Amino acid sequence: MTAFECSRTPPLSRVDGLEFTGGPNASRDVSKPVTQEFEESGEREEEEEEEEEEEEKEEEEEEEEEEEEEEEEEEEEEEEEEEEEEEEEEEEEEEEEEEEEEEEEGEEEEEEEKEKEENEEEEEEEEEEEEEEEEEEEEDAEEEEEEDGEEEEEEEEEEEEGGGGGGGGGGGGGGGGEGEHEWVSPTAKIWKKKKRRKRKRKKRKKRKRKKRKKRKKKKKKKKKKHYGRSWQAPPFPWNISWD
């Protein structure tokens, strides 16, 4: 070894195979043994790894929390959407119910109007029938008066005829007045009156029958107007209780 090479090598303070004194270019702490330095460096690495693991765990926990929050927000949004849909359905149902109520009210009003019209028509028919009955009664009274007047006239004529014949018979040979007329007994007069009354009754009955038939025809015509053809029956009242 040359002197130059010897001057370049670092002096050794202690040669034990493990420790040596470093020169000016030595980077490590020569005051500590090599084994202790390796141990400390390993501990530092472990601590750093543990710190990194803890940081990773914290990050994972934060991520999990964020995911949970996002899930909760999504659930809340879904619940809100469901609530909105339910509210919309309820509003639609309410609108449908309102429409149904309006339709029912309209139908009820129409039925009430029909009932009013029918009642008015019935009242008019009753008034017409009453007027017809009054007219018939007036006509009957007039006819009775006429017939009574005719009867009185006939009775007076018969009395005059009977009186003339009686006078002729009582006058005897004097040739008395109108002896040509036949004498009528009082019983015969009574039978004549009865016959006349019977005839009058028959005539009255015939008139009443005719008037009744006319009324029935009018009623049938009115029913046809209400319910269509004559064979078509009126609407059946389904609300009848069969109890």
Q: Which amino acid is at 103?
A: E
Q: How many CB atoms lie within 10 A of CB 43?
A: 10
Rounded to whole angstroms, how far apart are CA atoms 217 and 48? 119
pLDDT at 89: 94
pLDDT at 224: 61
Q: Which token pair is 94? A: 């309410």
The tens digit of pLDDT for each residue in 156-198 reads 776 776 554 444 444 444 444 444 556 667 777 778 777 877 8
State phi, psi for 180 to the nearest 5 degrees: -75, -35
Lowest mean per-residue pLDDT among 31-35, 111-115, 165-169: 165-169
Contact between 170 and 183 under an 8 Å Cβ cutoff? The reply is: no
Out of 43-47, 79-83, 160-164, 216-220, the most confident range is 79-83
Record the pTM: 0.34
- Is the model more confident about 10 or about 97? 97
pLDDT at 81: 93
State phi, psi for 31 to the nearest 5 degrees: -75, -20
Buried b or exposed e, range 118-144, using 16+ CB within 10 angstroms: eeeeeeeeeeeeeeeeeeeeeeeeeee
pLDDT band at 33 (very low <50, low <70, confident <90, very high): low
Mean pLDDT of 5-9: 52
Q: How many CB atoms lie within 10 A of CB 19?
A: 15
pLDDT at 122: 85
Rounded to whole angstroms, how far apart are CA atoms 179 and 168? 5
Q: What is the DSSP letter of 30?
A: T
SS3 content of the chain, % helix, strand, coil (to 5): 80, 0, 20
Q: Which amino acid is at 16?
A: D
Helix (H) or strand (E) holding 14: none
Mean pLDDT rounded to a whole number for the chain: 73
Rounded to whole angstroms, how far apart are CA atoms 155 and 195? 13
Q: Which token pair is 133? A: 């009955």
pLDDT at 218: 74
Provide the CB-side half-sphere exposure for 163 (13 A, CA): 6
